[in-house]
Structure 1
């Protein structure tokens, strides 16, 4: 009998505890849409989860995407990214802001002007 499902996405709590060295929260403020970009490449002897994050983040990925790719909970990924931030191996970028919508009154004036043509 196996302790995890066939797809391997469920982690045992003991392993997650070891991966994060018992920490349950990140030292740096990260949210689900914060973009992470690697500044370095994985090196020999690096914790496998850190190496995986560096490999994934050669192009910007959000914290939520990293969690999905690694199969680790967001809380664990946040702790690991925080470690990499402290070691200056990754950069964070704020998410791209949504486009500002034009003023509704301006749009109505343009529509009325076009209708008069």
Structure 2
């Protein structure tokens, strides 16, 4: 099982050092594949300070913890080691209950500019 140096998922029974994630990613989002809020991979999300009402789940709590500062949807997905589609659903849940705010990405260049996309990819690689 996880050890003390493994991070915030220390008490997470769904992770195992040898086997990895013991729950399929889409189980985390209850099988949902479409977020209720439109989110781009480069959209910025940030915690509002409002506590979510009701139980959401450990992945929601981990995502909310990551969003104490503005962070992109792609970064949240990478940190949670979840597919972007699943991370978007979790983040949309948090936006829906008022725990997160979202801001669309601001492009100073064309959004499909190769240099911009390569810079994003390099940044994500450094995070992993």
TM-score, scaled relative to structure 2: 0.61
Q: Do the aligned partners of residues 86 and 22 (structure 1) sit closer, same or farther apart at CA in structure 2, a change above 3 Å counting? A: same
Q: Which residue of structure 2 lines up, in the alignment, with residue 72 of structure 1?
A: 82
In structure 1, stretches of 5+ residues that fail to align are 100-117
Q: Which has the larger radius of gyration?
A: 1
Aligned partners of 1:32 and 1:62 also within 8 Å: yes
Following TM superposition, by how much is the alpha carbon of 1:92 offset from its aligned partner in structure 2, in angstroms?
A: 0.2
Who is 2:45 aligned against?
36
2:31 maps to 1:22: yes
Deviation at 1:45, TM superposition (A): 5.3
Q: 2: CA distance between counterparts of 1:56 and 1:42?
A: 14
| Residue 78 (structure 1) shift | 0.4
RMSD, matched Cα:
2.7
- Report matched runs for 1:45-84 at 5 Å: 46-84=56-94
Task: Please list the CA deviations of residues 88-114 of structure 1 after superposition, one character each: whole Å capped at 9, or x if unmatched.
Answer: 100001223317xxxxxxxxxxxxxxx
Q: Which runs of 5+ in 2 are unaligned?
A: 1-15, 110-128
Structure 1 runs, 4 residues or longer, greater than 3 Å off:
4-8, 41-46
Q: For each residue in 1:42-80, what CA deviation from the matched residue of structure 2 results, as whole angstroms up to 9, or x when unmatched?
A: 779541101001110100000001011110110000000
- 2:26 partner SS: helix
Corresponding pairs, count: 94
Q: Distance in 1 between matches of 2:19 and 2:67?
A: 23
Answer yes or no: is the 8 Å Cα contact 2:33–2:86 preserved in 1: yes
